[in-house]
Amino acid sequence: MQENEKCCCGGENKDKFIEELFSEYKPIKDNLIQMLNEIQEHYGYVPMWAQKELSEFLAIPMAEIYGVVTFYSRFSLKPKGKYNISVCLGTACFVKGSQKIMDRLQERLKIGPGETTEDGLFSIEETRCVGACGLAPVFTVNGEVYGKATVQKLDQVLDDLMKP
């Protein structure tokens, strides 16, 4: 189904995953973050239509749900690429050259942080710390950590991911 085919009012086009999710939870506000986590995990982001359905199910204003989604960096409002690449720009990584890695990544993929390539293969994120300061600088691909990173290591990883 395309996003514009979704229905937020219990209509016949309601997404099967959302129906199953709603059957697993009680409609109470305390379930908001866990349900958002499951939606994020399933779709790779939190679509607006899903926020609307969640708003109705939990009887929470859309503004509050949107506030939670935009507050926590775990959640995304846009689909991410098949390969989500995060570059740590925290102090330890930055001092050891992570900005050069970020610059190269943007140059190679022709997109900026928070964006996804047109083919849907890659997305870029900036992070502030992944908890691997001893391996600085660090970047991740779909959560897999690449430590003591260099521009050359990034190029090698990108080349491998771009192979058919």
**63 and 116 housed in the same domain:** no
Banded model confidence at residue 164, pLDDT cuts 50, 70, 90: confident
Domain CATH code at residue 7 = 1.10.10
CA distance 80 to 70: 15
**90 and 149 housed in the same domain:** yes
Q: Say which residue, 80 or 89, is predicted with more confidence.
A: 89
**Average of per-residue pLDDT values in the chain:** 90
**15 and 39 housed in the same domain:** yes
**52 and 88 housed in the same domain:** no
Residue ranges making up the domain that contains 51? 3-71
**100 and 156 housed in the same domain:** yes
Pairing of strands 122-127, 83-88: parallel
Written as one string, the DSSP assignment of 82-138 is: SEEEEEE-SHHHHHTTHHHHHHHHHHHHT--TT-B-TTSSEEEEEES--S-GGG-S-
* pLDDT at 12 > cutoff 60: no
User: Could you read off the pLDDT of 90-114 as tens digits, one per residue?
Assistant: 999 999 999 999 999 999 999 999 8
The percentage of residues in the chain with a pLDDT greater than 70, rounded to a whole number, is 91
* pLDDT at 121 > cutoff 70: yes
Least Cα distance to 147 among 132, 126, 129, 162 occurs for 132
Total domain count, the chain: 2
CA distance 151 to 104: 7
**Two tokens, residue 130:** 């992944």
* pLDDT at 147 > cutoff 50: yes
Query: What integer pLDDT is reported at residue 44 of this predicted model?
Result: 85
Query: What integer pLDDT is reported at residue 135 of this predicted model?
Result: 97
**35 and 103 housed in the same domain:** no
**156 and 90 housed in the same domain:** yes
